[in-house]
Amino acid sequence: MSKNKIKYGDLPLLPHDIPKIFTDCLVTNKSGELGFSHKFMVWKGGRGSTKSQSAATILLAIMNSMQSPCKILCLRELNKTTKDSLHEMFVRLISGAKMDSFYTVTNEKIVNRINKVEIVFAGAREKGEGSQNKESILNAIKSTTNIRYIWFEESQYISQRALDIIIPSARSTNISLTKDYVLMLKKMGYDLDEGTDIAKDVGFLFTLNPILPEDDVVKYVKFYGDKAKILHVNILDVEERFQNKDLLNTMEAERLANHPHFGHKWLGEPLSDMDLGMFKHEYFKRSIYPDKCDSYFIGLDVAVSNNKKSDKTGIVVIGKKIRKDYNKLDGYDNRFDYFVLEDCTGRYHPNEWGQKIDELYHKYDNPTVVVETNQGGDLLSQNIRNFNKYINIREVKAVKNKVTRAEPVSSLYALGRVFHVCDTREIEQQLLRFSTSGYQAPDSPDNADALVWAITEAMKGSSIEIFTTDNN
C-alpha cells in the first residue's frame, strides 16, 4: 500500500466530514482502496473528540472503496453494547447521508450491495469461558475468514485474553495465519502452500479513554514498533466546527467546579492512584503451585441468567496455608498466605456450575464453598447438594457494596500475602478497576467477586477487619 495521503474531504461515499487528524491516518493502494497507514491504530483521549464517530465514518469509506468482498469486525467487550451503540451509529451515518439503498442492514451486520463487503458486530467477551461445551465468541471470530479490519471500541475494557486470542488468529485469507506469523514460519524453515495469499494483512483500530497509566491495549500495540500509530485526541484538538458547544460548556463548568475526574473524562488522562488505589500492579505476586494447603475455599457468585448477554458465574478456588517463616511476634495478620489456585469463571447452566463445584470438591481436600445467595437463595445451595450432599457450604449475603467488601482483601494484597498460581489476568484487570468511587467498568467483575467471597471467608479469624457479609 503506497503512502499517498488522502486529501481532506476526498473520501469516496463519505457520509460526513470528520477532523483532519483522523483522515491523515489513511492511505490508498494502487487500486484506489482505502486503508490505514499503520497496521495498529490507537485513538485515545477524552470525551467529545469524535473518535467513535470518525472511526465509523472512515470504516464506511473503507468499506465503500473495496473492490472485492471482505469483512470488517466491530467489537466491544460486551456484545449487547456493541449492537446497541455501534450498530446504531453506522445506521445513523448511512441514513443521514441518504445512502440506505447501497446497503442491506440486519441486526448482526451491514452489507454493501455493490461489493459485498460486510461490517459485522460482535462482542469480545467469551460466551462460555470456563464451560467446555460452550463455543465462545472469540472462537467464532477465529473461524471467520477474509477479515480486513477489526475495530475495538472502548478498548480500555477489552481483556488481555481477548487480545491474545483475536489478534494472532484474525484471518485475512482462507488460512488462520496472519502475515507476520507466516513470515516467521518461513524464516524458521517451514514450507507453505504456493497458493497461500498473505498479501492482505489484517488492520486493527482501537478507540479508548484510558483508565490505567498504560492500558493493556497500549502496551500490546507498542510491542509492534513502527507498525503502530498512537494518537491522543481531545475535544480541543479537533477543528472548531467539530467541537460540540454543549459539551464544551459542560467541560468548562466541570473544570471550574474541580470535578474529581475532569482530567480523565475530558483530557483522556488515566485515573489517578487515589482513584484506583485499592489494588496496584505491584500487589500481584506470582507463585508456583504450593504444597498441600491447610484449607481450601471456593468462591461462587452465580449469574441470574445464562445467555450471551448475561454476566458470568464467578468460580474461584483459594488455598490457605500457614507460613513456614511465621513468627508470633509478627502478629496474627502474617500467619497465613493465600493462593489463587484456579479461576473457572464462565457462563454456565445451573447443572453445569453444580457439576463444576462437584469436580472441584473432588480435586481439592474438602473445600468450603462460599455462595452468595442474594439472588437465588436456598436454591443455589440445593443445586450443589443435588450433585454432592457432603460439600461444606457457607451461604453469604451482600449487605455492603463491592468496593467495601473488597477493602480487607486489598489489605491482604498490600501485605504481600496473596499469591497468584493460575492464569489470573482477568481477575487482575478487574481488581485494578476497583476505586474508592466505585467499580470503573460497565460490566460486572464476576471473577473478582468470587475471589473476594472466597478470601473473605478464608480470612475469618484474622485480626484484619472483615465486614459482616452474611445473614448468620
What's the pLDDT tens digit per position in 250-295?
899 888 888 777 888 899 988 765 555 688 888 899 888 888 899 9
Q: For residue 183, what pLDDT is reported?
A: 53
Cβ of 252: how many Cβ atoms within 10 Å?
A: 11
The cell numbers describing 378, all together, are 436456598
Report helix, strand or coil for 369. strand
The cell numbers describing 361, all together, are 470438591
What span, in angstroms and rounded, lies between the C-alpha atoms of 218 and 443? Answer: 21
Q: What mean pLDDT comes out for the span 236-252?
A: 92
Measuring CA to CA, which residue among 444, 302, 384, 347 is closest to residue 131?
Answer: 347
Residue 25 banded pLDDT, cuts 50, 70, 90: very high
CB 232 within 8 A of CB 9: no
CB 73 within 8 A of CB 150: yes
Q: Which amino acid is at 21?
A: I
Q: What mean pLDDT comes out for the span 391-419?
A: 84
- Condensed to tens digits (0 to 9), the pLDDT of residues 200-214 reads 478 999 999 887 777
- The 8-class DSSP code of residue 29 comes to -
Q: For residue 202, what pLDDT is reported?
A: 86
Residue 165 banded pLDDT, cuts 50, 70, 90: low
Q: For residue 449, what pLDDT is reported?
A: 92
Of 73-77, 259-263, 308-312, 361-365, the range with the lowest mean pLDDT is 308-312
The cell numbers describing 257, all together, are 467546579
Comparing 374 with 407, which gets the higher pLDDT?
407
- Phi-psi domain of 50 (left: phi exceeds 0; alpha: psi -120 through 50; beta: other): left
How many residues in the chain?
472
